[in-house]
Amino acid sequence: MADTNPIKQFEIHEVAPLEIAGLNLAFTNSAFFMLLATVSVTLLMALATNKRALVPGRGQSIAEILYGFVADMVRSSAGNEGLRFFPFVFTLFIFILAGNMFGMFPYLPLPIPGVDNHGFTITSHIIVTLTLSMMVMAIVVGFGVYKNGFKFLKLFVPAGVPPILYIIVTPIEVISFLSRPISLSVRLFANMLAGHILLKVFAGFIVMLGAAGAAWGIVGILPFAMVIGLTALEFLVAFLQAYVFAILTCIYLNDALHPAH
Amino acid sequence: MIMMSNRDEPDRSNPEDRLADFEKRLSARLESRNAEDRKYDRPRQGWAIGLRYGTEFMVGVLVGAAIGYLIDRVFDTLPFGLLIGTLLGFGAGTMNVVRAAKELSECASRDN
């Protein structure tokens, strides 16, 4: 019987082993999909913009719409000043979006023989999403301190509070700040993980029913319809989560620019 | 056409009036179309917003408890740091939710 294990899709395989100073730095299928996302986005953008037509063609329109979409997002939540972070936010958004979309292939084998092949979603691993959100937090803290100095700490001392309450309010603000990278990464990771498991569980039902006998195979239409619906939903989630990640990045960057809210 | 012209409809023969009339009809059409679109947008946004509130609150409590536990490990005061940390984390989680709601309502008022 076919393999219907719904969490096999999250397995990491070494493609090219590499060990430096006792650290396992092998090139894995996860790294391959990250590279695929980066290279394909770079190629798309380079091809779309190399003509620089005054009246954009189809490719250039895609690039311009993406640019306008992210620029509007940055401007509306971090102001014009926030546009200096546009390259960072755009890279984050497009990388997560491309990673999510490549994850939507149910089967996308690596072009390397002899490796256990299956599709892979880079954002379904918390180490990837946590690294991205830690990058955001490093920039927020780094730039906030660089631009505002000690005034950055005003973030933890909101104005208009009776002084005695700072004993409670400041720790709460600190915890709230520290919870940001975790909520940012957990939301993306949990959405992708849960969605893809659900998709594969229902797809597994089709195979199981098909293997159970001719009459059961007809019942398999039901999970098949479910898989179609879930796939559409997952495409939506793939876009929505990339959008949410990017817009929250903008909101946090706004705190770095204007710490006293 | 002659019968309809007794309502205060613009003179169709005048190009400027025709343009203004077109603009008016177009904006009315667009408005109804956008209203229709918004109706379909609502459920999926509600779903995303619900998830957002959930994680914001949960993470606040977890981080508060974790910090309390770490303080306990360092100063060897086991139940108290964890208890106070969880309580403060509860506050932080609530504040996260309130902030998220404020951001979302700002977004909503900007869109309308």
Let me know if residue A3 belongs to a domain.
Answer: no
**Both tokens assigned to A203:** 């797809």
Is 0.90 exceeded by the ipTM? no
Chain B residues touching chain A at CB-CB below 8 Å: 44, 48, 51-52, 55-56, 59-60, 62-64, 67, 85, 88-89, 91-93, 95-96, 99, 103, 110
Question: d(Cα A141, Cα A143) in Å, to the nearest integer?
Answer: 6
Please state the domain count of chain B: 1
Instruction: Using alpha carbons, select from B85, B41, B48, B23 the residue that is nearest to residue A190.
Output: B48
| Residue numbers of chain A with a pLDDT score lower than 70 | 1-2, 113-116, 260-261
Q: With an 8 Å Cβ cutoff, are A183 and B89 in contact?
A: no
Which residue has tokens 């993980």?
A: A193
Let me know if residue B35 belongs to a domain.
Answer: yes
Give the mutation candidate from B88, B97, B98, B105 for the A interface (greatest A CB count, under 10 A): B88
Angle between helices A166-212 and A86-103 (to 10 degrees): 30
CB contact residues (below 8 A), chain A span 186-225, against chain B: 186-187, 190-191
Let me know if residue B3 belongs to a domain.
Answer: no
pLDDT for B1: 46
pLDDT in tens, B30-47: 888 777 666 655 545 666
| For residue B111, pLDDT beyond 80 | no
**β-pair partners for A23:** A20
Q: What is the DSSP letter of A20?
A: E
CA distance B6 to chain A (A): 44
Confidence of residue B5 (pLDDT cuts 50, 70, 90): very low
Bridge pairing between strands A14-16 and A27-28? antiparallel
Q: Is the dihedral of CA A2, A6, A7, A13 positive or negative?
A: positive
Q: Which domain holds residue A52?
A: 8-257
**Both tokens assigned to B90:** 């509860």
Backbone angles phi, psi at A16, to 5 degrees: -130, 105
pLDDT for A1: 43
Question: d(Cα A183, Cα B59) in Å, to the nearest integer?
Answer: 6
Cβ-based contacts of A186 with chain B (< 8 Å): 55, 59
- Using left for φ > 0, alpha for ψ between -120 and 50, and beta otherwise, residue A104 falls in alpha
Let me know if residue B63 belongs to a domain.
Answer: yes
pLDDT for A202: 92
Let me know if residue B4 belongs to a domain.
Answer: no
Q: Which domain holds residue B40?
A: 10-111
Please state the domain count of chain A: 1
Question: d(Cα A221, Cα A88) in Å, to the nearest integer?
Answer: 45
pLDDT in tens, B55-109: 889 999 999 999 999 999 999 888 899 999 999 999 999 999 998 888 777 766 7
Let me know if residue B95 belongs to a domain.
Answer: yes
Helix (H) or strand (E) holding B62: helix B15-75
pTM for this structure?
A: 0.81
